[in-house]
Every structure is written in structure tokens, then in C-alpha cells.
Chain A
């Protein structure tokens, strides 16, 4: 059985829903950035967006800085 992440009632005044939305937004941006960097990305016009779990770090190249991550990426072919 895998561990479960426990939550506490005290959030330090943060709105938990806002934090969750921010985490999901960033995750989606990173997936989209990973898909853009991937050599296995599906070509334009196929209507399929391949998203990787994490941004890819090509050999010998620095990982993109968080600021360099692209904003919202529209799905191709939609």
C-alpha cells in the first residue's frame, strides 16, 4: 500500500484550493514544455499532444529555467 499525503487544518492562511490550482497549472506547463522538447513529439496536424511527465533535459544542455517555461499551450489540431 502506497503512503498517503496527510493534510493539516492549519494552512498558514493560504487558500488550499488556490495552492492546488497553482500546482496543477505549473504541472501542466511543465508537461507541455516537456512535449515541446521531446524528440518523440507527434508532428503538427495529427491532433494528438504527447505530454511527458517531466521536462526533458537533453544531454549536455542545461534544464530550462522556470521563467523560460512557456505559458499556456493549446492542444494541436483542436
Chain B
């Protein structure tokens, strides 16, 4: 048997455990944000804008597999995404525990670590950091001072604009154009208006949509309403 390390069988593609092949690295956008009901409007705005700009939104909710450790899943998705959106606005104390939640800053750190210490492909990563109010992050995460951070003020329109501008700035080098922010905000409002009707037609509950279901609905809606 050969002892050449190059002949050693590689592990199955980054331990994806039989999942479908991921979308191309350059088109995947990792969403790092709160997943609770109070953030739902902004979360949908992020998913819609990413998809409507021609990218593929991804997040920790995309696979529900109790056999995969959560942090391993997050690291795998971060590795497969070139772009990342990190909303670090949730700094309030959890009403149940009285403690803050640190998941978003942790995942932002993982993403920036991959960008810093990863291979050539990982170094091409780019991210958008979102906050609620301008400059507030400098108080609770002063190491981020000097980064460009966009604030959305809790408004889906502002989130759509921030994400659209960020993705469009990358696309302008590729010759691909996306609708302007005003038009995209209108499209998002139109989609929000249509979503309950579509869910009723498909016998789904709009407030309890799985991430993959929401993504499919956005994909088909955006495709049929160019």
C-alpha cells in the first residue's frame, strides 16, 4: 500500500453527511443574526435581499440534524460561504436568564478568524457588520472600532438597503447589475404582502416557516416577478 500522503483517501467532502452539494463558494452568504420572533421581519428582509441580488442565503437553521454538533455545523457553513452578514445588534439581556447572548459576536469572530488564518480561498472572505444604532458597537465591542459597520435602526428597509449596497458593490466588478435600493425595498414590501397568501395556498404557516421553505418561496417569487 502506498505511503505517499497524497494517496491517502480524503475524508468525505468536509463531512457533509450526505447533504446536497452546496452552492458555489462565491455565491453563498452566511447570515449570523438572532433567530427569535422579534427579529423575524429583519431576518426575512436579509434573506429576500440576498436572494434577490442573485446570491444564496445560508444560516445555521438550514439543516436540522441532531447528529451534527451546532458549532461544527456553523463552522462548516462559514467555510462554504465567501460572504457573511453579521448583525451584532442584539445586546439586550435575555429576559429569561438575565444574561446577554454572545452567539453573534462569537460567529463573527469565527468568520474573521477564517479570513485571517484560512487558506487562499478563505482569505477572500468579506463581511458586512450590521448594528442597530451607529457607533453603539464601539461601547460593547471596542475591538471593532475602525471597521465599517452599517446601522439598520430595526427597519427592514434600512437592512435591505445596507445588504443590497454591499452586495452590489462586489457585483459591479463582475458586470452584473441589481435593482436599486428603492426598487428592491418596494419588491420586498410586495413579497411581504404576498407571503401570507402564498402560505395559505400552500398550507404553510407564515410565522413558522422553515428557513429552507422561506428560501424556496423567495427564489420562486423573485424568479416569477423579475
Contacts and interface: CB of A to CB of B under 8 A. Distances in A.
Contacts of A24: 224
B68 interface: no
Given A12-B210, A22-B201, A66-B193, A6 B55 contact: yes
B95 interface: no
Interface stretch (A13-21, A35-43, A44-52): A13-21
B67 interface: no
A12 B21 CA distance: 15
Contact of B202 (A2, A18, A67): A18
A26 B198 contact: yes
Interface residues of A, number: 29
Interface in B49-69: 51-56, 62-63
Interface string A1-37: 1111111111111101011101111110000000000
B219 interface: yes
B178 interface: yes
Nearest to B224: A23
Contacts of A23: 194, 198, 217, 220-221, 224-225
Interface of B: 19-21, 23, 27, 51-56, 62-63, 171, 175-178, 190, 193-194, 196-198, 201-202, 210-217, 219-226
